[in-house]
Amino acid sequence: MEKKVIQEIILWQQGFIRNIKLQKRDIRIEPTGNYVFVGIRRAGKTFMLYQHIQQLLNEGHDIREILFVNFEDERIVDMKKEDLHILIDAYRELFAYEPIIFLDEIQNIDGWEHFARRLADEGKRVFITGSNAHMLSREIASTLGGRFFLQEIWPFSFAEYLEFKGLRLDEHWLLSPQKADVVRLLGDYFYFGGLAESFSFIDKRLWLTSLYQKVFYSDIVIRKSIRNERSMALLIRKLADSVMQPTAVKRLQNILQGDGTQISRTTISTYLSYLQEAFLCFSVSNFTDAIPQRALMQKHYFYDNGILNLFLINPESKLLENLVAIYLLRKYGEGVFYYNRNVEVDFYIPSEQLGIQVSYSIADLETRKRETSALVKLNAFRPLKRSLIITYNEEDLITVNGQAIEVVPIWRWMLENEP
Spatial distance between the Cα atoms of 391 and 81, rounded to a whole number of angstroms: 50
Residue 339 has pLDDT above 80, yes or no: yes
The mean pLDDT value for 188-214 works out to 97
Confidence of residue 259 (pLDDT cuts 50, 70, 90): confident
Spatial distance between the Cα atoms of 300 and 282, rounded to a whole number of angstroms: 6
Residue 36 has pLDDT above 70, yes or no: yes
* H helix or E strand, kind and range, residue 411: helix 410-416
* Per-residue model confidence (pLDDT) at position 139: 80
Confidence of residue 1 (pLDDT cuts 50, 70, 90): low
Ordered by where they begin, the domains of the chain are 3-152 (3.40.50.300), 158-191 (no CATH), 330-419 (3.40.1350)
Distances (CA, A) of 241 to 15, 313, 344, 410: 45, 9, 19, 21
Distances (CA, A) of 243 to 102, 150, 246, 254, 303: 37, 28, 8, 18, 12
Residue 28 has pLDDT above 90, yes or no: no
Contact call for residues 326 and 303 (beta carbons, < 8 A): yes
* Per-residue model confidence (pLDDT) at position 22: 87
The mean pLDDT value for 70-90 works out to 94
List of long-range contacts for 59-64, beta carbons under 8 Å, 24+ apart: 61/100, 62/97, 63/14, 63/17, 63/18, 64/14, 64/94, 64/95, 64/97
The mean pLDDT value for 400-411 works out to 97
> Mean pLDDT over all residues of the chain?
94
Percent of the chain exceeding pLDDT 70 equals 100
Reported as a single tens digit per residue, the pLDDT across 39-76 is 999 999 999 999 999 999 999 999 999 999 999 999 99
pTM: 0.95
